[in-house]
Amino acid sequence: ENANVIVVDWATGAKTPNLLAAAASSNAVGSDVGWLVGTMTTMGQSPKRITLIGHSLGANVMKVAGLGLINVGNIKVGQLVALDPVAGIYTGAADLVQVIHTSSVAALAAGDIDFYINNGAIEANQVTAHMKAINIYVKSVNGGCAFKACNAAGGCNKVGYGVNAEGTKGRLDLSVPNTSTFC
């Protein structure tokens, strides 16, 4: 599938020991991303074909972008993917919001679909666990792993790229090995 990818490097604003300063920076960067995406839609890009993806505090950047587009231009993007994000309610920032929870960092985050890796178990190495969300999403894009998460009632959905927007929503659990391959 052909795609355009825009990478936002906001390392300067994110690299501060003060979480409040980094959060304020994420809001400013999110506004800028929203402006860029809004401009793209005025040039013919369908907002339904736009997916905003962010990791940790970067997920807040994308949430701010998505909500800003709705508030300023009444534009709603197709998807937001929050990879082990900081606490927050992400629903409403896109037509479909999926949150991939891999560490305690994302315990208080919520989307339309909340994928809990290893049933939300807390790993001893939180840094490794926090980065696992990125690896799982990349594997879902590149193929080779059929990530499917399910709820207690047996409703299931694909994790990451290829998620079914009409499929099962809410909390879904997925067990993956503690290896770099995840398959």
Count the neighbouring beta carbons within 10 Å of the beta carbon of residue 142. Answer: 9
Sign of CA dihedral 6, 62, 59, 110: negative
Sign of CA dihedral 83, 86, 89, 92: negative
Q: Evaluate whether 79 touches 66 at the Cβ level (below 8 Å).
A: no
What fold is seen in the domain 11-174?
Rossmann fold (3.40.50)
pLDDT at 91: 96
Q: Indicate the SS3 state at residue 138.
A: helix
pLDDT at 48: 95
- DSSP 8-state secondary structure symbol assigned to residue 119: G
Alpha-carbon gap, residue 84 to 130, rounded angstroms: 6
Q: What is the mean pLDDT of each run of 10 residues along the chain (183 residues)?
A: 86 84 92 95 95 95 97 94 93 96 84 89 76 89 84 94 94 79 65
Q: 63 is written with which tokens? A: 């949430």
pLDDT at 120: 75
